[in-house]
Amino acid sequence: MSVIFSTNQKHSLGKRRCAFCTNQMKYIDYKDIRTLKYFIDGFQRIKPRYYSGVCLRHQKALSGAIKRAREMALIPFVNKYVNK
Amino acid sequence: MTKVKTATPQEVGAGDSLYELMLILSPDLRESEIKKKLKELTDMIEKADGRVVTEDFWGRRNLAYRLKRHNEGIYMVYNLELPGAFLKELKQHLRIEKEVLRSMIIKLPAGHAYTKYDLDAPVELKERKEKPKKYSTKNENISIKHNAPIIAPKKKAEEVKEETEEVKEEMSAEEPEKKEKAGKDKKAEPKREEKEIDESELDKKLDAIIGGEDFNL
């Protein structure tokens, strides 16, 4: 199953759609790092909703999944090269 | 690398709910030791009326950050059906275990199917189209700019003209004949050389005036 995650940046505000709603994903898995990485900053911070266009319901699930992935050392908390 | 074993579908015990258990074991363990550890765990679960639905062995992976002085970890994921009372005991057991670097138990939604992800595959990104550069950085274009015509020398020539004319007017009062000759010569010659010629002619004229018999100081 190939899931398409387009960046909503080029669309106007009215036309933005949640990436999880369009793909009909009910459960956001913390093990699926590849999709989570679309919603993470260069500084490894969770992207705000106004950048990614994710709806509130999925943003909450997404942030939970990212935090779980961080806890299990799949995703770093901080970009280690920035601090040095 | 990863192996997924799915248990045969059985009737779910009443009151049991689905949990997902993820373990990070220390990388110092050998393969036989890992198998032994995991078997102990599954035995313990089955003793407490739990059931292993799926098990997924990820193997060695680099950690995103150091855990208890280890850069690597051995990952193992279970989907379990557990009685709620046993959950606390299991957590306690995993916390005490030395070889377990970290563990996490999550409650899954009902009817959740385990999906496997290949995490090491590179993330696909759209290729950027390279735009042609507007300005070429070759030396040719730059050299042409420097060769632009310079306006300054024209002005100088005009200034020189005016000076010479003033001198001529002074001269005309005393010797009108010479002035006419000089004027004819100037017209024939190109403009740029005017100054030098004038100087030489002026010297001659001055000598003639000073050396002349009619001139008295």
Residue carrying the six token digits 């004229």 = B205
Residue B131 lies in a domain: no
* A26 contacts in chain B (CB < 8 Å): 109
Instruction: Check B117 against A31: CB less than 8 A apart.
Output: yes
The tokens describing B32, both together, are 């036989």
pTM of the predicted model as reported, rounded to 2 decimal places:
0.60
Residue B91 lies in a domain: yes
On the question of pLDDT at B3 being above 80, the answer is no
Residue B196: band (very low, low, confident or very high) from pLDDT cuts 50, 70, 90 = low
Report helix, strand or coil for B86: helix
Residue B145 lies in a domain: no
CA atoms B115, A2, B111, A18: torsion sign? positive
Residue A59 lies in a domain: yes
Contacts of A71 (CB under 8 A, 6+ apart): B102, B104
Contacts of B85 (CB under 8 A, 6+ apart): none
If one counts the domains in chain A, the total is 1
**What is the rounded distance in angstroms from the CA atom of residue B203 to the CA atom of residue B207?**
6
User: Is B105 near chain A, with CB under 8 Å?
Assistant: no
Residue A6 lies in a domain: no
* A73 contacts in chain B (CB < 8 Å): 24, 63-65, 67, 73, 102
Q: Which candidate in A30, A34, A78 is best for mutational testing of the B interface (most B CBs within 10 A)?
A: A34
Q: How many angstroms separate the CA of residue A53 from the nearest CA in chain B?
A: 19
The terminus-to-terminus CA distance of chain B in angstroms comes to 120
Region of A37 please: left (phi>0), alpha (psi -120 to 50) or beta.
alpha
Contact between B107 and B19 (Cβ < 8 Å): yes
Long-range contacts of A21-25 (CB under 8 A, 24+ apart): A21/A55, A21/A58, A25/A58
User: Is B125 near chain A, with CB under 8 Å?
Assistant: no
Residue A8 lies in a domain: no
Instruction: Check B123 against A34: CB less than 8 A apart.
Output: yes
* B102 contacts in chain A (CB < 8 Å): 71-73
If one counts the domains in chain B, the total is 2
CA atoms B19, B20, B22, B23: torsion sign? positive
pLDDT of residue B124: 58
Taking residues A19-45, what's their average pLDDT? 86
* A77 contacts in chain B (CB < 8 Å): 64-65
Domain span holding position A46: 16-83
Residue B121 lies in a domain: no
Residue A75 lies in a domain: yes
ipTM: 0.78
User: Is B123 near chain A, with CB under 8 Å?
Assistant: yes
Helix (H) or strand (E) holding A82: helix A80-83
For residue B104, give the nearest of A26, A33, A72 by CB distance: A72
Residue A79 lies in a domain: yes
Residue A77 lies in a domain: yes
User: Is B94 near chain A, with CB under 8 Å?
Assistant: no
User: Is B104 near chain A, with CB under 8 Å?
Assistant: yes
B101 and B17 in a common domain: yes
**What is the rounded distance in angstroms from the CA atom of residue A46 to the CA atom of residue A62?**
9
Domain span holding position B172: 152-211
Of B73, B107, B141, which marks where a domain is finished?
B107
B156 and B99 in a common domain: no
* A70 contacts in chain B (CB < 8 Å): 64
**Residues of chain B above pLDDT 70, percent:** 55
User: Is B77 near chain A, with CB under 8 Å?
Assistant: yes
Instruction: Check A31 against B119: CB less than 8 A apart.
Output: yes
Taking residues B103-128, what's their average pLDDT? 77
Of B88, B107, B126, which marks where a domain is finished?
B107
Report the CATH number at residue A70.
4.10.640.10
Residue A49 lies in a domain: yes
Q: Which range has the worst mean pLDDT, A33-47, B14-28, B59-73, B145-159?
A: B145-159
User: Is B1 near chain A, with CB under 8 Å?
Assistant: no
Contacts of B27 (CB under 8 A, 6+ apart): B60, B70, B72, B73, B74
Of B92, B107, B122, which marks where a domain is finished?
B107
CA atoms A61, B120, A77, A83: torsion sign? negative
Eight-class DSSP state of A24: T
| Higher-pLDDT residue of B153, B19 | B19
Q: How big is the CA angle at B128 (ends B122 and B131), to the nearest 5 degrees?
A: 160
Q: Which range has the worst mean pLDDT, A70-74, B44-48, B79-83, B163-167?
A: B163-167
Residue B139 lies in a domain: no
